[in-house]
């Protein structure tokens, strides 16, 4: 029973770790998308306004 409990605990830790990594990765992509989008909008607006 002790080994099974440790195994289940290990699986639980791994699952939480994967969940945490998934959130960080998704948040990183989301932030990167915003950071990439904002300069694009500014760069596009700047040349258009003088013209």
Residues of the chain with pLDDT > 70, as a percent, come to: 71
If one counts the domains in the chain, the total is: 1
Rounded to whole angstroms, the Cα distance separating 40 from 38 reads 5
Domain that holds residue 44: 1-51
pLDDT digits 0-9 by tens, 5-22 = 889 999 999 999 999 999
CA–CA dist 25, 23 (Å, integer) = 5
Q: How does the average pLDDT of the chain come out, rounded?
A: 78
The pLDDT value given to residue 4: 86
Q: What is the pLDDT of residue 8?
A: 92
CA atoms within 13 A on the CB side of 38: 5
Mean pLDDT of 20-36: 85
Alpha helices in 1-51 (DSSP H): 2-48
Between CA 14 and CA 27 the distance in angstroms is 20
pTM of the model: 0.48
């Amino acid at each position: 029973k002790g080994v099974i409990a440790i195994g289940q605990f290990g699986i639980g830790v791994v699952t939480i770790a994967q969940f945490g990594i998934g959130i960080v990765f998704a948040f990183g992509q989301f932030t990167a998308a915003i950071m990439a989008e904002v300069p694009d909008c500014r760069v596009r607006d700047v040349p258009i306004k003088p013209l």
